[in-house]
Amino acid sequence: MYFKKLKQMKVLKNIIAICLLSSSLYSHAQNTAMTTQTVKISGNCGMCKKTIEKSGNSADSKVDWNEDNQTAKVSFNAEKTSLDAVLKNIALAGYDNEKYLAPTTTYAELHGCCQYDRTLSAPPANPENTPENKEESSGNSSVAKAGNFQPIYDQYFVLKDALIAADHKAVTAGATKLSNLLTTLKSTSLTTTEQQVWKAQANTLAQHSKALQNAKDLAKQRLAFVSLSEEVYKLAKSSKPALPVYQQKCPMFNGGKGATWLSLNKEVKNPYYGAQMLTCGSTIQTIQ
């Protein structure tokens, strides 16, 4: 009996030792997969640090932001994510970095003490001075190209979020701002390509924006948003936003005809149904 118990104890010890060894090997594998890079991220204060690190941290990444020198050490598991993905999330939280600029509306919503000086510029989409880039390099960089229509994209996303929240008043206010943006945009500030796009779409964009503004209830606003989304999609395909944009589709809306919209987040949040069917839909295209 004694020897039987002794044998069982030895087996148990061996099992524990194997488990500990496996855990150690797994931890070592995780550590060796981690890559650390130092990047520039704008910000002002301790509140900024908290937001930057929260938006960049995940199971596969860790961000340590330094307020003094405006840089961050970004560690990430290169097998599961990328520096690009981490910096995109930080930009979406309102903070410019060396890869992405924050959306204008998100920056504007930061606390007053967090509204840093916006001195960073996003890298050009195509750094090579190819013939098709000569027009941009002569005075309109790809960063400027994204910026010309960027306020329109930003206001569109405000509208989309208001529809998700089923906030009729916020949608009306957002549509009014969009209508004003469309009337004040100066075509002389656009590149030749953008001027062609604007000439073809300005009137229809204005019409759909006005329809959204005048819609009397949420149901009519959502129907008007379908047409507006189609026009903003055309604009985004011709003059891309500063950040990657996801075109998403709800197959059920509008009597089963389906409807698309644009989002800065890959996670589906349906503006046509809101909380009723928040995750109904899928990503069908990425514009970047």
CATH number of the domain bearing residue 192: 1.20.120
The answer to whether residue 4 sits within a structural domain is: no
pLDDT band (50, 70, 90) for residue 187: confident
Q: What is the pLDDT of residue 146?
A: 45
Query: In the predicted model, is pLDDT for residue 142 greater than 70?
Result: no
Of the candidates 156, 145, 176, 166, which has an alpha carbon nearest to the alpha carbon of residue 104? Answer: 156
176 and 89 part of one domain: no
170 and 210 part of one domain: yes
Instruction: Specify the higher pLDDT residue, 78 or 209.
Output: 209
The answer to whether residue 68 sits within a structural domain is: yes
92 and 196 part of one domain: no
148 and 254 part of one domain: yes
The answer to whether residue 14 sits within a structural domain is: no
Contact between residue 208 and residue 228 where contact means Cβ atoms under 8 Å apart: yes
167 and 103 part of one domain: no
Average of per-residue pLDDT across 119-135? 49
The answer to whether residue 135 sits within a structural domain is: no
Provide the number of structural domains found in the chain.
2
The answer to whether residue 217 sits within a structural domain is: yes
Please tell me the pTM assigned to this model. Answer: 0.56
Segment 235-264, tens digit of pLDDT: 888 877 878 899 999 998 988 899 999 998
Q: What's 110's domain CATH number?
A: 3.30.70.100
272 and 182 part of one domain: yes
160 and 268 part of one domain: yes
Q: 199: domain range?
A: 144-287
pLDDT band (50, 70, 90) for residue 144: very low
Last residue of a domain, one of 76, 96, 114: 114
Segment 3-52, tens digit of pLDDT: 555 555 565 566 555 555 555 544 444 455 788 999 999 999 999 999 99
pLDDT band (50, 70, 90) for residue 138: very low
**C-beta neighbour count of 24 within 10 angstroms:** 10
Segment 153-166, tens digit of pLDDT: 989 999 999 999 99
Q: Cα separation of 75 and 203, whole Å? A: 47
206 and 101 part of one domain: no
Last residue of a domain, one of 66, 96, 114: 114
pLDDT band (50, 70, 90) for residue 129: very low
Instruction: Specify the higher pLDDT residue, 151 or 49.
Output: 49
The answer to whether residue 132 sits within a structural domain is: no
159 and 82 part of one domain: no
Segment 199-221, tens digit of pLDDT: 888 999 999 999 999 999 999 99
104 and 170 part of one domain: no
Query: In the predicted model, is pLDDT for residue 273 greater than 50?
Result: yes
Q: What is the pLDDT of residue 140?
A: 32
Give percent of the chain above pLDDT 70. 80
94 and 207 part of one domain: no
Average of per-residue pLDDT across 140-156? 64
pLDDT band (50, 70, 90) for residue 128: very low
Segment 87-115, tens digit of pLDDT: 988 988 899 998 888 887 788 888 888 99
Instruction: Specify the higher pLDDT residue, 267 or 15.
Output: 267
224 and 269 part of one domain: yes
**C-beta neighbour count of 213 within 10 angstroms:** 19
Instruction: Specify the higher pLDDT residue, 280 or 147.
Output: 280
Q: What is the pLDDT of residue 131?
A: 35
